[in-house]
Amino acid sequence: MSNQALTRKIAFIGGGQMAEALIGGLLAAQLCRPDQLWATDPVPARLEHLKQRYGIQVGGQNREATLWAEVVVLAVKPQTLDSVLKEIGPGLKDRLAVSVIAGAPIARIAAGCGGATRIIRTMPNQPSAVREGMTAVAAGAGVAEDDVACVRRMFESIGKVVPVEERLMDAVTGLSGSGPAYVFLAIEALSDGGVKMGLSRETATLLAAQTVLGAARMVLETGQHPARLKDQVTSPGGTTIAGLHQLEQGGLRAALINAVEAAAKRSQELGR
């Protein structure tokens, strides 16, 4: 990731957790100055928090923030998107709109903007809050390469980024969007196993969480297939193969595949 600062002014329409994650990431990476960022939100306490913590411009004036900015991040709740677009749609003309709204297709946003806006749809996930997020990015028609590069750098400040076709966004939602919940469940279950075998809850949770973190980092940094890394831990007749046998009997592999599929299908339903 280039460490050259971004020059564009960015407005966040909606100042919730994902907007705050991005604001914090952009400032920590020194990609933006506080005076390049403006956040709006209907909750005054939320605006005060963002202003006090990050020193950015805040306010409830969605239209004014949109006209001020060159990049507009749509970070509102899905059920309020249409009313927000009615308010700011005309002001989005010739601007870059970046959506972090789950289940909102580019076509829906374009329709609310009168079709004159460059739109990039993103799907970041919850670990973005600690700058270990995974964001998928899909660009709409008429989006320039420098627009995509700008958005990629924005989201690289809070984790990793992968380009996808928009038709695959529901699959992304089922995997990396919902996936943190599956991993939290696995960490909790591993911790329960440690407690069952006599460890304190605090020690068991630390062992489980750091083990998951370390295993994930090995996959990313070695580039090896997870099955190969698994085999490296699995000695003939040893402890690990005994545990893996139980996981196979319990259907863990199929359960995780089914979870991704179910969440992706639900995302499709919600997007209709």
Output the known binding site for NADPH.
62
Q: Is-contact 146 112, C-beta < 8 A?
A: no
Distance CA 20, CA 24 (A): 6
What phi-psi label fits residue 46: left (phi over 0), alpha (psi between -120 and 50 degrees) or beta?
A: alpha
| Two structure tokens written together for 108 | 């829906």
| Two structure tokens written together for 197 | 């075998």
Enumerate the known binding-site residues for NADP(+). Answer: 13-18, 75-78
Q: Is-contact 10 38, C-beta < 8 A?
A: yes
Going by C-beta distance under 8 Å and a sequence separation of 6 or more, which residues neighbour residue 3? 29, 30, 31
Going by C-beta distance under 8 Å and a sequence separation of 6 or more, which residues neighbour residue 86? 112
Query: At residue 133, what are phi and psi to the nearest 5 degrees?
Result: -80, 170
Enumerate the known binding-site residues. Answer: 13-18, 62, 75-78
Query: At residue 61, what are phi and psi to the nearest 5 degrees?
Result: -90, 90
